Amino acid sequence: MPTDYIFVYGTLRRSCTTGAHQNYLAEAEFIDNAKINGRLYQVSYYPALVLDDSAGWVAGEVYRLTSPEQLKHLDTYEECTYPSQPDQEYQRNKIDVVTESGIELSAWVYSYQRAIEDLELITSGDFLHP
Protein backbone atom coordinates (compact mmCIF):
# COMPACT_ATOMS: atom_id res chain seq x y z
CA MET A 1 0.00 0.00 0.00
CA PRO A 2 1.37 3.43 -0.87
CA THR A 3 1.67 5.69 2.13
CA ASP A 4 -1.21 8.13 2.48
CA TYR A 5 -0.94 11.16 4.71
CA ILE A 6 -3.77 13.38 5.89
CA PHE A 7 -3.75 16.99 7.10
CA VAL A 8 -6.48 17.67 9.68
CA TYR A 9 -7.42 21.12 10.98
CA GLY A 10 -10.69 20.76 12.92
CA THR A 11 -12.62 18.08 14.79
CA LEU A 12 -10.13 15.37 13.80
CA ARG A 13 -7.24 16.98 15.71
CA ARG A 14 -5.98 15.20 18.82
CA SER A 15 -7.06 17.80 21.36
CA CYS A 16 -10.54 18.41 19.93
CA THR A 17 -13.21 17.17 22.34
CA THR A 18 -15.69 15.76 19.80
CA GLY A 19 -14.18 12.27 19.93
CA ALA A 20 -13.69 12.19 16.16
CA HIS A 21 -9.92 11.78 16.47
CA GLN A 22 -10.30 8.69 18.66
CA ASN A 23 -12.89 7.21 16.29
CA TYR A 24 -11.09 7.86 13.00
CA LEU A 25 -7.38 8.47 13.59
CA ALA A 26 -6.49 6.48 16.72
CA GLU A 27 -4.56 3.95 14.61
CA ALA A 28 -2.87 6.59 12.43
CA GLU A 29 0.69 7.70 13.12
CA PHE A 30 1.07 11.33 14.19
CA ILE A 31 3.81 12.92 12.05
CA ASP A 32 3.93 16.57 13.15
CA ASN A 33 2.06 19.83 13.47
CA ALA A 34 1.81 21.68 10.18
CA LYS A 35 0.17 24.61 8.45
CA ILE A 36 -1.14 25.26 4.96
CA ASN A 37 -2.28 28.31 3.01
CA GLY A 38 -5.99 28.93 3.28
CA ARG A 39 -8.82 30.39 5.33
CA LEU A 40 -10.97 28.79 8.00
CA TYR A 41 -14.63 29.52 8.61
CA GLN A 42 -16.95 28.45 11.42
CA VAL A 43 -19.83 26.39 10.00
CA SER A 44 -21.38 24.96 13.18
CA TYR A 45 -19.43 22.98 15.78
CA TYR A 46 -16.90 22.34 13.00
CA PRO A 47 -14.78 24.46 10.63
CA ALA A 48 -14.57 24.82 6.86
CA LEU A 49 -11.25 25.12 5.05
CA VAL A 50 -10.99 27.13 1.84
CA LEU A 51 -7.67 26.48 0.10
CA ASP A 52 -6.06 29.71 -1.05
CA ASP A 53 -2.35 30.19 -1.75
CA SER A 54 -2.69 33.95 -1.31
CA ALA A 55 -4.40 33.73 2.09
CA GLY A 56 -3.03 33.29 5.58
CA TRP A 57 -2.16 30.08 7.37
CA VAL A 58 -4.37 27.31 8.69
CA ALA A 59 -2.97 25.27 11.59
CA GLY A 60 -3.33 21.52 11.75
CA GLU A 61 -1.70 18.13 12.16
CA VAL A 62 -0.37 15.53 9.72
CA TYR A 63 -0.90 11.79 10.15
CA ARG A 64 0.26 8.72 8.24
CA LEU A 65 -2.71 6.46 7.57
CA THR A 66 -2.20 2.76 8.22
CA SER A 67 -4.69 1.33 5.74
CA PRO A 68 -6.89 2.27 2.77
CA GLU A 69 -9.90 1.58 5.02
CA GLN A 70 -8.93 4.52 7.24
CA LEU A 71 -9.30 6.89 4.30
CA LYS A 72 -12.68 5.36 3.43
CA HIS A 73 -13.83 5.86 7.06
CA LEU A 74 -12.66 9.46 6.95
CA ASP A 75 -14.62 9.99 3.72
CA THR A 76 -17.69 8.65 5.52
CA TYR A 77 -17.11 10.99 8.47
CA GLU A 78 -16.74 13.98 6.12
CA GLU A 79 -19.74 12.79 4.06
CA CYS A 80 -17.53 12.91 1.01
CA THR A 81 -16.90 10.62 -1.92
CA TYR A 82 -13.75 10.66 -4.00
CA PRO A 83 -13.93 12.20 -6.47
CA SER A 84 -16.44 14.47 -4.82
CA GLN A 85 -19.89 15.36 -6.08
CA PRO A 86 -20.97 19.02 -6.49
CA ASP A 87 -23.66 18.77 -3.79
CA GLN A 88 -21.26 17.56 -1.09
CA GLU A 89 -20.06 19.91 1.62
CA TYR A 90 -16.43 18.81 1.33
CA GLN A 91 -14.06 17.53 -1.29
CA ARG A 92 -10.87 15.57 -0.71
CA ASN A 93 -7.78 17.14 -2.29
CA LYS A 94 -4.05 16.34 -2.34
CA ILE A 95 -1.94 19.25 -1.11
CA ASP A 96 1.73 19.88 -0.37
CA VAL A 97 2.44 20.28 3.33
CA VAL A 98 5.54 21.36 5.21
CA THR A 99 5.53 20.29 8.85
CA GLU A 100 6.92 22.30 11.76
CA SER A 101 10.09 20.20 11.63
CA GLY A 102 10.56 20.88 7.90
CA ILE A 103 9.30 17.59 6.44
CA GLU A 104 7.74 18.08 3.00
CA LEU A 105 5.02 15.66 1.94
CA SER A 106 1.85 15.33 -0.05
CA ALA A 107 -1.26 14.88 2.08
CA TRP A 108 -5.00 14.58 1.67
CA VAL A 109 -7.17 17.36 3.09
CA TYR A 110 -10.92 17.96 3.15
CA SER A 111 -11.76 21.39 1.77
CA TYR A 112 -15.10 23.15 1.79
CA GLN A 113 -16.98 23.51 -1.49
CA ARG A 114 -20.08 25.49 -0.52
CA ALA A 115 -20.74 29.23 -0.26
CA ILE A 116 -18.91 31.00 2.58
CA GLU A 117 -20.66 34.39 2.47
CA ASP A 118 -22.68 33.76 5.65
CA LEU A 119 -19.88 32.05 7.60
CA GLU A 120 -17.67 33.69 10.20
CA LEU A 121 -13.95 33.80 9.41
CA ILE A 122 -11.67 32.21 12.04
CA THR A 123 -9.03 34.93 11.87
CA SER A 124 -6.36 33.03 13.81
CA GLY A 125 -6.41 30.18 11.27
CA ASP A 126 -6.58 27.75 14.20
CA PHE A 127 -9.92 26.11 14.93
CA LEU A 128 -8.86 25.08 18.44
CA HIS A 129 -7.51 28.57 19.30
CA PRO A 130 -9.74 31.07 17.49
Mean pLDDT of 13-33: 94
The torsion defined by the Cα of 36, 105, 62 and 50, in degrees rounded to 10, comes to 30
| Of residues 115, 103, 112, 114, the one with CA closest to residue 63 | 103
pLDDT digit string, tens, across residues 89-112: 999 999 999 899 999 999 999 999
Is the pTM for the entire model greater than 0.85?
yes
